[in-house]
Chains A and B, each alone.
Chain A
Amino acid sequence: MKMKTLAAMALAGTMAAAPAMAELVIPDLSYRTGPYAAGGTPFSDGYQDYFNLLNARDGGIGGEPVRIVECETGYNTEKGVECYESTKGEGALIYQPLSTGITYQLIPKATADNIPIHTMGYGRTSAANGEVFNWVFNYPANYWDAASVMVNYLLEENGGDLGGKKIALVYHNSAYGKEPIRTLESLSAQHGFTLSQLAVDHPGQEQKSQWLQIRRERPDYVLMWGWGVMNQVAVQEAANINFPMENFIGNWWAGAEHDVTPAGAAANGYKSLNMNRVDADLPVFAEIKTLVHDAGNAAGDGSNLGSVLYTRGMYAAMLAAEAIAKAQEIHGVSAITPAQLRDGMEALEITEARMAELGMAKIGPEFSVSCQDHGGTGLGIVQQWDAGAGKWVALTDYIAPDNAVTDPLVKEDSMAFASENNIEPGCL
């Protein structure tokens, strides 16, 4: 009798678990606490809201509902690993940790587990070489592209000549902040500008000495690789020393509304890169508003709709959803596996027409992914903060990076990784 009951319970258990297998499980390694929460929260809101929109509007992707598993990492690598291990078992399809540190942890683990990672505009730059990093994608752009786009923009501003100029790099003293240094060094040799490096330690609230040094050295331009509370402090400090804001350019993780609003009018004119366009009037936002927020399914408090990082989180979710659709098309099944999703990501093609169809026209550049190139086009725009209107204004169209500089660096770094880890470069 007892055995029978147990067997019945076990059977009921498997039956209850069975429908769960048919979902598309998307883990969201978010951070809504700690010094980086200001950036992590809107990104995660956008990421989740888009999948919720797909569930509400289309019943998921290809008929399969999406289930989001959120896990708080606090931008901490140990918690990131714990989150990875705890969500992996649920059948996670793709990881987007929004942290370069956690990405470095996950690259070997996810490669061993055959789960793709998408690190959009962050993570390990040389993962753009898809023959070495089969499971890691960083389209549409990476840090070395960003560094090159910045220099190209400055070249354009200065009539093609940066000779004798002084450029300072203020960077977060971590893997994230150190990534662009190699590119900027080789660009400095090529274009003849002097590069000075100023490291800011985690979490970045203490920057007085760095900005004092900038005041003393008077560089022509300051570039910044900042994130979280570091950005707000840097903008405020730049204002304090009366550094001309139009010569202060952040990368795409240092250019959101919450980075500049604390400094008020003093932040007017601050520039930053962006890899996606910001347009609060995109039709997709109206759909999210009615189908997700008004239905009470908003991921956060719903206040971030249309902001820079919300848009980027939604863009990341869109790229993942498109890759899932592509994988379903390639393999002819709707309940795909992580390995099948990887094939979809490798065959991903984003066109103007498709973006317009999704209600987010011109949100990003057109690009396609291939086995050799997991990095996309690397295009970026320069945007400027208008403190009076309280919004970011795009100054340029998409600027291309100098691939002649970044490609050899990607090759070199990825090959070093391949030889360290005994990887035979090749397509899967």
Chain B
Amino acid sequence: MLYREAGDFKTSYHADNQTFPIKFDRIGFWITMAIAFLVIPFVINDYWANAIFVPFLIYAIAAIGLNILTGYCGQVSLGTGGFMAVGAYACYKLMTAFPDVSIVIHIILAGGITAAVGAAFGLPSLRIKGFYLAVATLAAQFFLVWLFNKVAWFYNYSASGQINAPERFVAGVAVTGPNTAPWAQYMICLVFLTVCALIARNLTRGTVGRSWMAIRDMDIAAEIIGVNPLKAKLTAFAVSSFFVGISGALFFSVYLGAVEVGEAFGIQKSFLVLFMIIIGGLGSIFGCFAGAAFLVLLPVALKVLGVDVLGWPTDLVAHLNLVIVGALIMFFLIKEPHGLAQLWRLAKEKLRLWPFPY
């Protein structure tokens, strides 16, 4: 009834190709944006920011990055944690070396540095595919973590090997450091996520995105019809790493404030982001949001339900969390390889016909 395209006429090519062709979707999008920008910042508190919103927004950026590489271009990567570390350490070095430059510029530059590193590690993808590429990116993961642990220059020779984000301001408001207001943390992440998602969405709809998808679906056929695999694969690695680097920079500077590379950007982080896009949906921007929200919310929801409501022991709930995430991943791989995004798509199809499905 509500969700239908009847009567939603398009009179121009531009209108026909807009991001949300159905009016109901467009309204939904603007309402979501209005709530995200105009309502949440006024009601958010420390707990909601640090436990839910900020990690969700940052992981969503990382998931977009990985989804471009894995979901759109078909190159499996297990190096996300390592690339996030590049973003974090680049941001830290820039923040401490040029304290007068805006943190926003540092975060974008950190993304750029990560893009260069990512493209370099993407070079083997020209020769190897599938599992073998996964192993090569795994090597990147371990190498980068080792590097940031080993070379003291990256952590400014601090005794503990930790990096700490100094206080930085955007328009006079602290966005990093301990005195950051929760709404400021939330807003900077939200702005970055919105811009990243818009860029990603439009990239994937254009020439670049189509060449990625051509490579993903069948690289030999793509080459024959004129897609340059070198360009397609390396741009996928670079763009993906750019987003991942931004998420790593935000993760370190805005969210945690102090980071230890092995602990924060270890292999488990790579898997976590990979699980997000598997559960959310490969090859879908919406899936990145759904997967990130799901894996950030699930442990918190389970904890609130198990420990606070039911009074179960904390260790039981923590173990249960692992069991549930594992079971869900198997469930999605078997039953719905396209993830939550596909469920959403099916729901929309059903809604179009409701109440008279056939």
Contact = CB atoms under 8 A, between A and B. Distances in A.
Given A72-B307, A105-B257, A175-B160, 18 more contacts: A30-B314, A33-B318, A37-B315, A72-B318, A77-B256, A77-B258, A77-B259, A77-B260, A78-B264, A81-B255, A82-B50, A82-B51, A105-B256, A108-B164, A173-B262, A182-B159, A201-B262, A413-B159
Given A32-B314, A174-B262, A111 B164 contact: no
Contact of B50 (A37, A81, A174, A421): A81
8 contacts: A32-B313, A86-B51, A104-B160, A104-B260, A108-B178, A173-B262, A199-B149, A422-B167
A9 to B, nearest CB: 19
A202 B259 CA distance: 15
Contacts of B257: 105, 108-109
Nearest to B299: A79
Chain B residues touching A, majority SS: helix
B177 A32 contact: no
A85 B161 contact: no
Contacts of B162: 101, 104, 175
B295 interface: no
A85 B47 contact: yes
Contacts of A33: 315, 318-319
Contacts of B307: 70-72
A421 B314 contact: no
A420 interface: yes
Contacts of A105: 256-258
Interface of B: 46-47, 50-51, 55, 149, 159-162, 164, 166-167, 177-179, 255-260, 262-264, 266, 299-300, 303, 307, 313-315, 317-319
A396 B315 CA distance: 37
Interface of A: 30, 32-33, 37, 41, 70-72, 74, 76-79, 81-82, 85-86, 88-89, 100-101, 104-105, 107-109, 111-112, 124-126, 173-175, 178-179, 181-182, 199, 201-202, 413, 420-422
B260 A101 contact: yes
A181 B157 CA distance: 12
B256 A108 contact: no
B263 A76 contact: yes
Contacts of A81: 50-51, 255-256
Nearest to B159: A182
A178 B262 contact: no
A174 B263 CA distance: 8
Contacts of B50: 81-82, 85
A263 B260 CA distance: 31
For B162, B258, B313, the residue with the greatest tally of chain A CB atoms inside 10 Å of its CB is B258
B263 A179 contact: no
A86 B314 contact: no
B300 A77 contact: no
Contact of B160 (A76, A112, A178): A178
B263 A202 contact: yes
B318 A101 contact: no
Contacts of A72: 303, 307, 314-315, 317-318
B314 A70 contact: yes
Contacts of B149: 173, 199
Contacts of A100: 160
A178 B159 contact: yes
Contacts of B319: 33
B220 to A, nearest CB: 40
A226 B17 CA distance: 59
Contacts of B47: 85-86, 88-89
A68 B50 CA distance: 22
Contacts of B264: 77-78
Contacts of A89: 46-47
For A74, A104, A125, A181, the residue with the greatest tally of chain B CB atoms inside 10 Å of its CB is A104
A47 B169 CA distance: 40
Nearest to B96: A420
Contacts of B314: 30, 32, 70-72
B268 to A, nearest CB: 9
Contacts of B300: 82
A32 B256 contact: no
Given A85-B46, A100-B160, A202 B266 contact: yes
Contacts of B46: 85, 88-89
A258 to B, nearest CB: 16
A112 B179 contact: yes
A6 B263 CA distance: 47
Contacts of B177: 108
B263 A77 contact: yes
Nearest to A183: B159
Nearest to A112: B178
B333 to A, nearest CB: 25
Contacts of B258: 77, 104-105, 107-108
B178 A109 contact: yes
A202 B50 CA distance: 25
B266 to A, nearest CB: 7
Given A78-B256, A104-B162, A32 B315 contact: yes
A270 to B, nearest CB: 26
B145 to A, nearest CB: 8
A213 to B, nearest CB: 16
Nearest to B319: A33
Contacts of A201: 262
A41 B51 CA distance: 24
For A178, A181, A199, the residue with the greatest tally of chain B CB atoms inside 10 Å of its CB is A178
A78 B299 CA distance: 12
Q: Which 6 A-B pairs have the closest CB atoms?
A: A108-B178, A32-B315, A72-B314, A175-B160, A112-B178, A33-B318
Contact of B164 (A70, A77, A104, A178): A104
Contacts of A77: 256, 258-260, 263-264
Contacts of A422: 167
A174 B260 contact: yes
A96 B255 CA distance: 21
Given A33-B315, A76-B263, A104-B260, A175 B51 contact: no
A97 B160 CA distance: 17
Given A181-B159, A201-B262, A202-B262, A78 B317 contact: no
Given A76-B263, A104-B160, A111 B178 contact: yes
A422 to B, nearest CB: 8
